[in-house]
Amino acid sequence: MSRHVLSQPYPGVQYRSAPAHRAQPTAAAAPPRTGYTLAHAGRQLRLGPIAFWIVVGTLVIMAAWSIITATYFAFRDDVLTGLVARQAEMQYAYEDRIADLRQQIDRMSSRQLLNQEQYEQKLDQIMRRQSALENRANAIQAMPDSIVTGSTRSTGRGQTRSAPNRPSPVNDRSSDLMTGRDFSSAIARLQASLDRVETRQAASLASMEETYDAKARRIRGVLADLGLDAARVSARGIGGPLVRARMPTNAEAFEHHVQRVSIARAQVDRLTQTLSSVPVRRPLMGEPDISSAFGMRLDPFIRAPAMHTGMDFRGDIGDPARATADGRITIAGWHGGYGKMVEIDHGNGLATRYAHLSDIAVKVGQRVRAGHIVGKVGSTGRSTGAHLHYETRVNGEAVDPRKFLRAGLRLGTGH
């Protein structure tokens, strides 16, 4: 019994069934063998089922690969065009991205340069302001009787202040670690510190001006109480050409304030010089007792009412008698009941007398200053004991010296 071929995959090849096996005479019939036989030109090729399907699968794969390859070559231009377009699109996207990044870098660089220029300008302004404040502090310190100047703080502990160095610019290595916010904070702190210095300087000038004005008012009040016109009473030994004070057109408020303080100080100096020629000091050191005041009294010799034209200060023989103001000696010698007497002309109609001296230490025409010893306490002339007779005269008329002495106590110059 034979098996027929089920299919003929290759045309022109003759297929036939395998010949039937002859029956064995002794044993039972063998099981039939299955497979495929390929015949061509009188030759036969027998294939098993597995080999057959391997061949068929290989042929199918080759056919599919041929179809795919043919399709690729048929549509190659379109594929290449798409790939090129995709590549160009990606390249353009990358170029646009790079351009955007460059623009961002340029903007950041421009912003950094602008910030650096702004920081440098602010630092320059701070340095110029600090230099101006230091010059102002020096100007305040140069004023007599200056108080707190509000000068800038020293750069180090125990170090002398040197010329300020320029702060490091923004692009220095020392400032690379600092951000823009740090710089802004540092500049703000510097500005606040300079503002405090400027405020202290302004307060110092205001205090000085107020002090000078108060002193000038006090001196004018004392002179007015003494019956002296401060505008007419002039100090001696001063003069010079008239050069009017002029302020620069671009002068700041500080310069105007300094000028006001200078004017107030000049007025105090003039009044002080004028006051140096006003007898407001005591003729004896310490706290001498007054044995006889100015005015009507019983004369110690005749025991009758008489006018006492001065004040008697009790003292010991030899105690120094001192000039109570600047002036020039007009009398130095024996003068009737005054005994040995010294008279000093202080100018502006003011004069003082020192009588009953035991010794005279000055000469006529000699110029003396307040506190200069003009003689020694004695009991010469019409006197009952050692004392100093002290007179104050205005335009030749004797006035009560206590008014001048009280004025000296008000001004703190009584001693």
Poorest-pLDDT segment among 187-191, 280-284, 324-328: 187-191
Query: At residue 100, does pLDDT exceed 90?
Result: no
Backbone angle region of 336, left / alpha / beta, with phi > 0 → left and psi within -120 to 50 → alpha: left
Max mean pLDDT range (79-83, 276-280, 324-328): 324-328
Which pairing describes strands 373-377 and 367-368: parallel, antiparallel, or unpaired? Answer: unpaired
* pLDDT value for 157: 40
Max mean pLDDT range (31-40, 99-108, 277-286): 277-286
pTM of the full structure: 0.55
Q: State the Cα–Cα distance between residues 352 and 229, nearest whole angstrom.
A: 19
Q: Evaluate whether 273 touches 219 at the Cβ level (below 8 Å).
A: no
Query: At residue 44, does pLDDT exceed 80?
Result: no
- Classified as helix, coil or strand, 249 is coil
Poorest-pLDDT segment among 8-17, 132-141, 166-175, 386-395: 166-175
Max mean pLDDT range (173-182, 259-268, 347-356): 347-356
What is the rounded average pLDDT of the residues 221-246? 70
390 compared with 103, residue with greater pLDDT: 390
User: Domain 290-401 is in which class?
Assistant: mainly beta
What is the rounded average pLDDT of the residues 134-157? 56
- Report residue 177's pLDDT band, with 50, 70 and 90 as the boundaries: very low
* pLDDT value for 39: 73
7 compared with 274, residue with greater pLDDT: 274
- Report residue 64's pLDDT band, with 50, 70 and 90 as the boundaries: very high
* pLDDT value for 245: 65
The full DSSP string for 297-358 is EE-TTT-SEEEE-SEEEE--TTPEEE-SS-EEEEEEEE-GGG-EEEEEEEETTEEEEEEEEE
Query: At residue 317, does pLDDT exceed 50?
Result: yes
- Report residue 81's pLDDT band, with 50, 70 and 90 as the boundaries: confident
Residue 94 CA: distances (Å) to CA of 102, 103, 105, 106, 279: 12, 14, 16, 18, 100
Task: State pLDDT tens for residues 179-213.
Answer: 556 667 777 887 788 788 878 878 888 888 888 88
* pLDDT value for 386: 94
Task: State pLDDT tens for residues 356-394.
Answer: 999 999 999 999 999 999 999 999 999 999 999 999 999
What is the rounded average pLDDT of the residues 202-230? 83
Max mean pLDDT range (53-62, 260-269, 378-387): 378-387
Query: At residue 335, does pLDDT exceed 90?
Result: yes
Query: At residue 40, does pLDDT exceed 80?
Result: no
**Residue 392 forms beta bridges with which residues?**
352, 399
Poorest-pLDDT segment among 250-254, 267-271, 294-298: 250-254
Query: At residue 307, does pLDDT exceed 70?
Result: yes
140 compared with 170, residue with greater pLDDT: 140
* pLDDT value for 343: 97
What is the rounded average pLDDT of the residues 352-359? 96
What is the rounded average pLDDT of the residues 272-276? 83
> How much of the chain, in percent, has pLDDT values that exceed 70?
76
Average per-residue pLDDT for the chain: 77
Residue 35 CA: distances (Å) to CA of 16, 287, 297: 12, 158, 177
Helix, strand and coil in the chain, % to nearest 5: 45, 20, 40
Q: Which amino acid is at 276?
A: S
Query: At residue 319, does pLDDT exceed 50?
Result: yes
Q: Evaluate whether 126 touches 191 at the Cβ level (below 8 Å).
A: yes
